Chains A and B, each alone.
Chain A
C-alpha cells in the first residue's frame, strides 16, 4: 500500500480567475450560487480550491460538463495557463519541493519535455500536423538532447509500433492521418521521454466509437505498462470508468464530490453528480 507521501503529482488550492479581482472575485461563485461569473468584479472563476493527488501508476479521473472547469485545471497544471493561486508539485522535480507555479516560464516549459506530458483532445495542439509521425517524436527526443539520427529513428519506430501506428506511415505528415491515428501519435510523442505524469484531456472525444475504443484500450495498457501517474479529464463516463480508479466531479469550477470511480458512477451523493450521472446513464 502506498505511503501518503509517494505522490507523483500533488495539486493544492489551485485557483484560476479570468479577469479582475483575483481571490476577491471568488465570493458569490461556485455550485452554491450556480454561477462562475463573479458578482463583484465580473471575472470568471475558472476553478477554485482544487486539490488533487496522483501516485505513480494511478489514473485520476476529472468528470464534469463543459464549462465545469476541468480543462482549466488541466491547463493550469500543464502550464498552458497561469494559475491565479495554489501549488502544483511533481515528485520528479526537486523531490516535490518546488511549486511549479513559482518556476520561471522557461523552466516550466522544459518540464514538458520529459516530466509532464499532455495529450489533447485536438491533436493539432500536441502535434505539428505538417511534420511526419517520426518527426513529431524526434521533436521531443531532440529537445531532450538526442543527437543520433539512427537512435532517434529507432526510438520513434519503437514508440509508434507500441501505439499501433503502422510503420509504413512513419514518414507521412501527421496531417494526412485519421483522427484515431493522430491520437496514437500524440500518445507516442507524449511518452517519448518517459514522463512521470501524463495529463489526458478528452483523449477519445470526437473519435468514432470503434476508433475511440481502440485508443482507450491502448491508453489503458500504456498506463499499466509505464507506471506513469495520470490525470484523465473527460465528460465521457466510459472513458473515466475504463481508465481510472478514483475520480473527482467538478461543477461551476469546484470539486463537488470525489471518491472511487465506480461509487461516483453508481451511487453519486452530490445533487449535481446525480444529475450528471442520471443524464448520461439515462
Chain B
C-alpha cells in the first residue's frame, strides 16, 4: 500500500519522497522520546533505505523525518563533503525533500555526519544528525541483551569502568580512540559514534541538538542542547583529546598554533604521508580568509544527476 502511494506521489509530483508521512511520524516520535530521555536508546522501526544498512541509513531516516521546507542540509562523511557516500546521501535527501543543501556548516540547519562534528561552532537552531554503526556502548563488555537492558536501566556501568581500568593497566592509557563512552545527563552511558575524542568535549553543554541514528540496530538516541556529556574517566587520569602532532598542509593549523582542528593522515604516492584538516570545508574557508585560496573555487560543483 505504501509502495503504491509512493508510486502515485512520485508520478504526480516532482519530489520523490523516500519516507511516507506516517513513517516519518514514527521516526519523529522516536526522536521526541530520545530527546525527552537524553542518552536512552529508543527502538524504532527502521525502514529499508536506498542505502545499505550500515551506510548511514539511520541518520538518513532521522534527517528525512525532521526536515522542513525551509531547512538547509549539509551532509559530510569523515569531514569531507565530497566523499561518494556523503554525495549520494545528499542527493537522495535533496530529491526526496526538495531542500537546499550546502557544504558550509554555518549555513546548514541540519548537518548529517559520519565520524565528525564540524569545526565551526554550531548554534541553537542547528541539528546534528550522526550516523551510528554500533549504538550500544556496552557491546564490548556484555553480550546478553537482557543483561544489557538491565545494566542501562539500573545505571550499572561497573563493567564499563572495569574495561577502562583494564585498558589503563595493560596500555598505560585509555586506548579507545573513537566512540568514547560518555555519561549523558548523569544517567545513561552512550557510544559517541565513531567520532574522534577531539569532538567529544564539544558535545558537552552544546548549543545544538544531536540526534544519533543506527539503522541496522534500529536505535535512536539524542543529546538535547545544554546537556551534560561527561566522558567516563577516572578522576586522576585526565581525558585527553588527540594531540596535533603535525601541521596541516594548509599551513594554518600546526602544533602550538593559535588555531586548532582535528587532523587526519593522508598517504602520498611516494609512500610518505601528510597531515590535513579533517574538516575540508572549514579548512578551505580558513585558507580563503587568509588569502591563500580563491573563494570562487568554493562554489559547490556537484553535478545533479
Contact = CB atoms under 8 A, between A and B. Distances in A.
Direct contact of A and B (CB under 8 A): yes
Q: Which of A110, A134, A142 has the largest number of chain B CB atoms within 10 A?
A: A142
Interface in B150-172: 150, 153-154, 156-159, 161-162, 165-166, 168-170
A110 B166 CA distance: 23
Nearest to A134: B169
Contacts of A131: 162, 166
Contact of B235 (A134, A147, A171): A147
A106 B152 CA distance: 11
B153 A106 contact: yes
A142 B150 CA distance: 17
A2 interface: no
A269 B246 CA distance: 83
Contact of B165 (A106, A109, A110, A138): A138
A251 B168 CA distance: 50
B264 to A, nearest CB: 30
A139 B234 CA distance: 13
B283 to A, nearest CB: 37
Contacts of A148: 234-236
Interface residues on A, range: 20 to 34
A45 interface: no
Nearest to B233: A147
A142 B181 CA distance: 15
Contacts of A142: 157-158, 161-162, 165
Nearest to B157: A142
A77 interface: no
Contact of B158 (A140, A150, A153, A171): A140
A167 interface: no
A147 B168 CA distance: 13
A143 B158 CA distance: 5
Interface string B234-248: 111100000000000
Contact of B156 (A138, A143, A171): A143
B165 A149 contact: yes
Interface in A129-163: 131-132, 134-136, 138-140, 142-143, 147-153
Contact of A106 (B154, B157, B159): B154
A142 B157 CA distance: 8
A195 B17 CA distance: 61
Interface of B: 150, 153-154, 156-159, 161-162, 165-166, 168-170, 234-237
